[in-house]
Amino acid sequence: MRAAPESPTRVPGRRFEGYGVLVTGAGRGIGEATARRLAAEGARVLVTDVDAGRAERAAGAIPGAVGFGCDVADRAAVEAAVAYAVESFGSLDVLVNNACACSPDAPLFEDEPDATWARDLDITLTGAFRCARAALPHLVASGRGAIVTIGSVNGAQDFGNHAYSAAKAGLASLTRTLSGHAAPRGVRVNLVEPGTVHTEAWTGREPALARAADHYPLGRVGRPEDIAAAVAFLASADAAWITGVTLPVDGGLLTSNVGLRRAFDAAE
């Protein structure tokens, strides 16, 4: 399949001038790209990561960013990160829940250990809950608060990884319920649902990425910047009348079964 042309990422002005933003899991990949995009549009960004050194290195390369170690599995660490953002920036206007854990499946479902299941859900789903709980009063106080969570197509269809997929599906549900609770308080809550994205997690598995690209209607896998652009839209005033939605950013993966269509084409 011919790949869709790669258009340059454009930054449409400075929609986040004066905003304070916290991004979890932002030491690399989608989180780092999101921090970079929001900072490029004027935000002060707290780059958090379970690896404090990685957070600081990422922040050091982003103007207007500050690094801070935060384990979203630890309530005290989450509350400390939120407090630091408010103290440093004067307000917290946007929370981006990106931190997650994805453990490989056991060969047989009945051999899945409790610890693996619990870890993926605790970091991916409960971690987002902890961050939203700590941030919400400050997002309400800002008068323009927004939460954007990073889900996955794994939460909508079967692509493997039982615990990770269940956690991502839970994030979509949490987005819907929290949006209804937060809307009367002036806070919007939305979710971005990426397909396969070429991040450091795929290092050494580039052939698998190349094969995956053939299953995407737009002919390629995603880039972190693709997801960051969607996050920036949903966090901005451009999406002022949007809340509770799940936005697939997946190259068309969920809309078309490319392999099946090819099978039918080959039979004709």
Three-state secondary structure string covering 201-232: HHCCCHHHHHHHHCCCCCCCCECHHHHHHHHH
Instruction: Note if 164 is an active site residue.
Output: yes
Active-site residue, from 19, 84, 164, 216: 164
Block residue for tokens 């009348």:
241
Long-range pairs for 46-49: beta carbons < 8 A, 24 or more residues apart: 46/20, 46/21, 46/22, 46/81, 46/84, 46/85, 46/88, 46/89, 47/23, 48/22, 48/23, 48/24, 48/81, 48/99, 49/24, 49/25, 49/99
* Residues labelled as active-site residues: 164
